[in-house]
Amino acid sequence: MDYYHAQQRVKELKRFYKSLLWFGIVSIVIFSDDLFKKGIFNISHWDGSVILLIWGIILTVKAVKLFIFDADWERSIVEKEMGKHKDPVKF
């Protein structure tokens, strides 16, 4: 991996971890607000949770793209496909 790609990867990781941190902070605020207003036994899981659900899905997709389908995975798939379709040398 060259410097440019490493730098891009670090920027993507930093952006992902910031998003994850903000998700955690907002989640704590929403659930603690419900806890203080309604009590421990009357918490509705749907007050604000739709936003958190959508945000969580987006973060999950970003995490899969960032950690599973990264450049190494792409390179290995390309190499595997190139190995499958090698034409024999014709003399």
**Domain boundaries along the sequence of the chain:** 3-84
Query: Rounded to two decimals, what is the model's pTM?
Result: 0.67
Q: What is the pLDDT of residues 23-46, one digit of tens each?
A: 999 988 887 877 777 666 665 556
Count how many residues are written for the chain: 91
CA distance 68 to 51: 25
pLDDT of residue 76: 81
Residue range 44-86, pLDDT digits in tens: 556 667 888 899 999 999 999 888 887 777 778 777 877 776 6
Which are the contacts of 26, defined by CB distance < 8 A and separation ≥ 6?
52, 55
Give tens-digit pLDDT for 1-10: 678 888 888 9
